[in-house]
Amino acid sequence: MLIQPSLNLEKKIPILVDKRLRRNRRTPAIRALVQENYLQAQQLVAPLFILEGRNREEPIASMPGISRLSIDLLIQKVIKLYELGIRAVDLFPVISADAKDTFGSEAIREGNLLQQAVYEIKNVLPELCVMVDVALDPYTDHGHDGLVDDKGAILNDATLEVLARMSILAADAGADIIAPSDMMDGRVAHIRKVLDAHGHIEVSILAYAAKYASAFYGPFRDALQSAPKFGDKKTYQLNPANSREGIRESLCDEEEGADFLLVKPALAYLDLIYRIKEVSHLPIAAYHVSGEYAMIMAAAERGWIDGDRILAESLISIKRAGADFILTYGAERMAELLKSGWNF
């Protein structure tokens, strides 16, 4: 028996609730009937960092749970991810300081680390969709995504040739999807043309269409030791204050022949995901980037938040906004949770 404290109202007003929305939330079964969005491991893409050598694993301090892995350990990792239901990975090579130069020459060396990794993964797990990030920043000693002139200005058109060459190397090794993340103008059209001319008509392009000049990339740049040595990326990545510009970039990439459009970062740019989904008929991807992952892990480590639930809630918000698939460092953890029957 509940004892309700006296409310001491002067007048008793009859209570009339004519819309009972809570009925649709009453039991787990009813809630399941009406759930609008789902997370599925097959729509999560795991970004992976590759190291030279054998049997090497280097944890990344600012990204708890994520390590740089040599190819042999990378193979074990992708097998584990596949068993968890993940069907796609995105590869980032870690290039040692002495192999970096002004031109990013290592990026277009036949047989480089990235090519070996793609080749070996495809060899053991051909069903896995292998995506390759294409940009110069892991390879250049200055850390920019493109070639630069002696005054430090980005050389847009000269960079396109290098990006196309990188794309061919990746495609030759068996990559399914080329993901240019450099934000040079015209790169989607040029990469498409060169891929086709080399017979790679079946290799797709995931265009980083709306990629913002974001502080959320900090931990990623720790992982690759790729922070720009001078200036910033504001002449090629987008201004976080703009949304129409992101839509324009996306429509351009669609016209240039992209197969998918990507918004990056994700959580702080949900409006872009929503609006691009409305104006383009291409599938939309979102990149839940390193800083977004790091924030969750840092607060969870302190016991301030429930990391698993915040990860899931972050990812479902990205789906709700309209993303078809999500690149996230939380892919493995989320896939484990989903496998154990986790839901909202």
Task: Using CB under 6 A, list all residues that contact ligand PBG.
Answer: 133, 135, 137, 145, 181-182, 217, 220-221, 233, 289-290
Is the CB of 221 or the CB of 248 nearer to ligand PBG?
221
Residue with tokens 């607060």: 299
E runs forming strands in 129-266: 129-134, 177-180, 204-211, 260-264
Which token pair is 197? 């001319």
Q: What is the closest distance, in whole angstroms, from the C-beta atom of residue 155 to ligand PBG in the complex?
A: 16
Which token pair is 287? 């990149």
> Among residues 211, 233, 277, 319, which one is catalytic?
211
Residue 277 designated active-site? no
DSSP for residue 169 = H
Residue type, 180: P
SS3 97: helix
Cα 218 from Cα 237, distance rounded (Å)? 15
Report the Cα–Cα distance between both ends of the chain, in Å, rounded. Answer: 32
Cα 265 from Cα 217, distance rounded (Å)? 8
Cα 118 from Cα 125, distance rounded (Å)? 10
Q: What is the closest distance, in whole angstroms, from the C-beta atom of residue 90 to ligand PBG in the complex?
A: 9
Q: What is the closest distance, in whole angstroms, from the C-beta atom of residue 23 to ligand PBG in the complex?
A: 42
> Among residues 100, 233, 264, 319, which one is catalytic?
264
Cα 150 from Cα 33, distance rounded (Å)? 62
Is the CB of 16 or the CB of 118 nearer to ligand PBG?
118
For residue 121, the number of C-alpha atoms closer than 13 Å in the C-beta half-sphere is 36
Q: What is the closest distance, in whole angstroms, from the C-beta atom of residue 213 to ligand PBG in the complex?
A: 8
Annotated binding residue 249: yes
Residue 211 designated active-site? yes
Is the CB of 136 or the CB of 282 nearer to ligand PBG?
136
Is the CB of 159 or the CB of 181 nearer to ligand PBG?
181
For residue 227, the number of C-alpha atoms closer than 13 Å in the C-beta half-sphere is 9
Is the CB of 182 or the CB of 256 nearer to ligand PBG?
182
Is the CB of 124 or the CB of 153 nearer to ligand PBG?
153
Q: Which residue is nearest to ligand PBG (CB)?
A: 220
CB burial string 96-128: b at 16+ within 10 A, e below: eeebbeebbebbbeeebbbbebbbbbbeebeeb
Is-cis flag, bond preceding 265, omega within 30? yes
Cα 47 from Cα 40, distance rounded (Å)? 16
Q: What is the dihedral of CA 336, 342, 273, 290, to 10 degrees?
A: -40
Q: What is the closest distance, in whole angstroms, from the C-beta atom of residue 150 to ligand PBG in the complex?
A: 22
Q: What is the closest distance, in whole angstroms, from the C-beta atom of residue 91 to ligand PBG in the complex?
A: 11
For residue 5, the tally of other CB atoms under 10 A from its CB is 5
Binding site per annotation, positions: 249
Q: Which residues are annotated as a binding site for Mg(2+)?
A: 249
Q: Which residue numbers are catalytic?
A: 211, 264
